[in-house]
Structure 1
Amino acid sequence: MSLKWVDVLEIAIQLAESKPEVDPRYVNFVNLRSWVMELPDFSDDPARGGEKVLEAIQAAWIEEAD
């Protein structure tokens, strides 16, 4: 399976599993973007990961953590 920026929920789930020590409410977008691109299944154009997408991923990750 190949992850794209639009796979917000799946990205959030994988981040929650790979970074259980991180509180997603306090993650800055620079780190979030890097962590998404480091996910093993991620393969999309880095330029497509703008602020709106990162906000959606962060919101989904917060939901996943609660």
Structure 2
Amino acid sequence: MPREIHWTDAEEIGIQLQETYPDTDPLTVRFTDLHRMVTELPGFADDPTKSNESRLEAIQMAWHEEFQDAQG
């Protein structure tokens, strides 16, 4: 069973999003789509209504770092 993740686990979520969507540039993802992508991750165990713009931005930036690392 995957480890439980919450909105505050931006780095872990970024890693999982990179693994799940390796060809997606995170900076092209709208926050509404990012919200859905996060809540669909295995192990997501937080209240979907507890996200906000700053949390989504932190997740997007963590994912972007992982994306850049993967690009070489």
TM-score tier after normalising by the smaller chain length: over 0.9
- Runs of 4+, deviation exceeding 3 Å: none
Aligned to 1:40: 42
Structure 1 unmatched runs, 5+: none
**Matched-pair identity in %:** 48
RMSD, matched Cα: 0.6
1:6-25, CA deviations, whole angstroms, 9 ceiling, x for partnerless residues?
A: 10000000000000121101
Q: TM-score, normalised by structure 2?
A: 0.88
1:12-51, CA deviations, whole angstroms, 9 ceiling, x for partnerless residues?
A: 0000000012110111001000000000110101111111
Aligned to 1:18: 20
Check if 1:56 corresponds to 2:34. Answer: no
**How many aligned residue pairs are there?**
66
Q: Secondary structure at the match of 1:39?
A: coil
Q: Secondary structure at the match of 1:53?
A: helix
**AA aligned opposite 1:39:** L
Structure 2 unmatched runs, 5+: none
Aligned to 1:31: 33
| Structure with larger Rg | 2
